[in-house]
C-alpha cells in the first residue's frame, strides 16, 4: 500500500481571500489574486492529482474512471455510477457569495432531462442543471464564519421589519404579519424578487436608510441591519438585498457547522471553512450576482420551512461526526490538543480524503510506510486499501478532517 498525497486546484473567484488559502498552504501572503476555494476530489472541472512516490502525478478523476470498484468500492461505484460522490473544499470568503439554493435529487433529475431536451448547452449562462444530481452541502468553520441560511421564524421577521419600517415597507410587513407561516414567507419572498426595477429603486434606499438608523441606535437587529447595508452597498439595485431580510443571520465559531439540504436558501458572507458537498454543479441563484437568475425555477426549488438554523459541533467523543441525511458525503473531525500524541486508526471502508488543517500529522500504512501530512495537505485513500493510523507530530494542536461517502446510503 502507498499513502499518496494530493495536489489540489485553487479556484480564483473574485470574492476570495488573498491570505487564507496561501497561509494554510504555507505560501507567500498576500497572493497576487483572490483565492476562493481549494478543491479536493474528482470533479471534472478541476480534479485533484495523486502524487506517486516517484513524484509522478495522475488525475484522481482518471484513476477513478480506470478502476471505479478498486478506488470507490463496489457499493459506492454502483450507487454513484462510478463517480466519487463528494467534493471537499476549503472555502475562503472575503466578500459575500451569491444567494442561492440547490435542488433535490428528483428536481435535479427532472430539470436536467428538461434542459437536455431543449438542447441548452451545459456551459450556457442560463443553464440551471448541468448534471442530474442533488447538491446538498455542509460547511464547518475554521475561523469565525458568517452566513445567512434558512428562513427566520416569521414572528421574528415581523419584529425586524417593524423595527426598520418605512412607509414603503409597511405593506410588506403586513403581508407576512397576516400570514406568519411558510405560505406567508413564500408570498412575501415572491413579491420582493419579482418587483419591477422602478419599485425596487424606490424601496431599497428607504430600507437602507432605516437600517442605518437602527444600527446607530444599537437596535435589537443591528447585526442583521449591518449585513443588509453591506449587501446594499455592493448590490444597490438587487432584490436579493430585500430577500436577505428574511434569512437567519449566523456567526459560526471554529468547529461549528451548518448543513444545507435541498431547497435551503443561503448566502456565505465572510470567513474560512471546510465545505463538503455532493459532486454537482446545480445552483439556483436568487440574486446578489451578475449571473443568471431564473425566478420561476428558483421558486420551485426553495424550501420555505422556517425557524432557527441548526448549528452543530459534531457528535462523538474522539471523532466528531457532523450529522446529515446526505447519502453523498459524511464529514468528521479529529482534534489533538497540544501535547497529545495518541494514534487514531482510520478504517478504509470506502473512498476517503484526509485533510490536515492544523499542526502536522504522521499517516502510517499497514505495511509500515509513512507519510507526513503538513497543514493544508491532504491524502487520498482508496476503498481497496486497509486501515491507516494517524498521529500528530511536534506536540502542537493538530486537526484532521475526514471526508467519506454518507453512511445513510440507499
Please report how the helices 154-163 and 182-193 are oriented relative to each other, as an axis angle in degrees rounded to 10. Answer: 50
Which residues face 371 on adjacent strands?
363
Q: Which three cell numbers stand for residue 154?
A: 416569521
Q: CA-to-CA distance for 19 and 194, rounded, in angstroms? A: 38
3-class DSSP state for residue 223?
Answer: helix
* Contact indicator for 266, 247 with CB cutoff of 8 Å: yes
H/E stretch holding 336 reads strand 330-336
Q: Which of 83, 127, 152, 285 is catalytic?
A: 285
Which residues face 361 on adjacent strands?
373, 392
Q: CA-to-CA distance for 243 and 224, rounded, in angstroms? A: 12
Which has the closest alpha carbon to 153: 130, 184, 124?
184
Q: CA-to-CA distance for 394 and 386, rounded, in angstroms? A: 26
Backbone torsion region of residue 326, taken as left when φ is above 0, otherwise alpha when ψ lies between -120 and 50, otherwise beta: beta
* Contact indicator for 346, 373 with CB cutoff of 8 Å: no
Q: CA-to-CA distance for 163 and 254, rounded, in angstroms? A: 31
Q: What is the DSSP string of 314-328?
A: -BSSSEEE-----SS
Q: Is 213 noted as a catalytic residue in this protein? A: no
Q: In what order do the strands lie in the sheet with 57-59?
A: 57-59, 49-51, 4-7, 378-381, 352-358, 398-404, 330-336, 319-321
Residue 306 contacts by C-beta under 8 Å, 6 or more apart in sequence? 150, 151, 152, 153, 154, 181, 182, 185
3-class DSSP state for residue 112?
Answer: helix
Q: Is the C-alpha dihedral spanning 191, 238, 266, 108 positive or negative?
A: positive
* Contact indicator for 397, 84 with CB cutoff of 8 Å: no
- Residues marked as catalytic: 285
Amino acid at each position: 500500500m502507498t499513502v499518496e498525497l494530493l495536489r489540489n486546484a485553487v479556484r480564483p473567484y473574485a470574492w476570495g481571500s488573498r491570505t487564507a488559502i496561501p497561509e494554510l498552504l504555507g505560501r507567500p501572503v498576500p497572493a497576487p489574486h483572490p483565492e476562493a476555494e481549494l478543491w479536493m476530489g474528482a470533479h471534472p472541472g478541476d480534479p485533484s492529482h495523486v502524487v506517486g512516490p516517484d513524484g509522478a502525478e495522475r488525475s484522481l478523476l482518471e484513476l477513478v474512471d480506470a478502476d471505479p470498484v478498486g478506488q470507490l468500492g463496489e457499493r459506492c461505484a454502483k450507487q454513484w455510477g462510478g463517480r466519487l460522490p463528494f467534493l471537499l473544499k476549503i472555502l475562503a470568503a472575503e466578500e459575500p457569495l451569491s444567494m442561492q439554493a440547490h435542488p433535490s435529487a428528483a428536481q435535479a433529475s427532472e430539470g436536467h432531462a428538461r434542459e437536455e431536451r431543449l438542447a441548452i448547452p451545459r456551459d450556457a449562462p442560463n443553464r440551471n442543471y448541468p448534471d442530474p444530481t442533488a447538491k446538498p452541502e455542509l460547511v464547518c468553520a475554521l475561523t469565525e464564519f458568517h452566513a445567512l441560511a434558512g428562513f427566520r421564524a416569521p414572528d421574528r421577521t415581523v419584529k425586524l421589519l417593524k423595527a426598520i419600517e418605512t412607509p414603503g415597507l409597511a405593506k410588506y410587513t403586513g403581508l407576512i404579519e397576516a400570514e406568519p407561516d411558510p405560505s406567508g414567507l413564500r408570498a412575501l419572498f415572491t413579491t420582493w424578487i419579482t418587483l419591477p426595477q422602478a419599485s425596487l429603486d424606490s424601496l431599497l434606499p428607504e430600507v437602507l436608510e432605516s437600517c442605518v438608523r437602527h444600527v446607530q441606535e444599537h437596535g435589537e437587529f443591528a447585526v442583521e441591519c449591518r449585513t443588509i447595508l453591506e449587501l446594499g452597498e455592493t448590490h444597490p439595485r438587487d432584490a436579493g438585498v430585500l430577500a436577505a431580510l428574511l434569512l437567519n443571520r449566523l456567526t459560526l465559531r471554529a468547529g461549528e457547522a451548518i448543513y444545507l439540504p435541498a431547497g435551503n436558501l443561503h448566502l456565505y458572507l465572510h470567513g474560512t471553512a471546510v465545505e463538503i458537498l455532493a459532486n454537482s454543479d446545480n445552483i439556483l441563484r436568487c440574486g446578489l450576482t451578475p449571473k443568471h437568475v431564473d425566478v420561476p425555477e428558483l421558486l420551485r426549488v426553495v424550501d420555505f420551512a422556517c425557524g432557527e438554523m441548526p448549528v452543530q459541533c459534531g457528535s462523538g467523543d474522539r471523532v466528531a461526526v457532523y450529522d446529515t441525511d446526505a447519502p453523498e458525503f459524511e464529514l468528521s473531525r479529529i482534534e489533538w490538543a497540544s501535547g497529545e500524541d495518541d494514534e487514531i486508526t482510520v478504517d478504509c471502508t470506502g473512498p476517503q480524503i484526509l485533510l490536515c488543517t492544523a499542526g502536522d500529522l504522521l499517516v502510517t500504512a499497514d505495511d509500515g510506510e509513512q507519510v507526513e501530512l503538513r497543514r493544508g495537505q491532504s491524502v487520498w485513500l482508496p476503498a481497496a486499501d486497509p486501515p491507516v493510523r494517524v498521529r500528530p507530530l511536534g506536540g502542537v494542536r493538530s486537526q484532521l478532517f475526514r471526508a467519506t461517502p454518507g453512511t445513510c446510503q440507499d
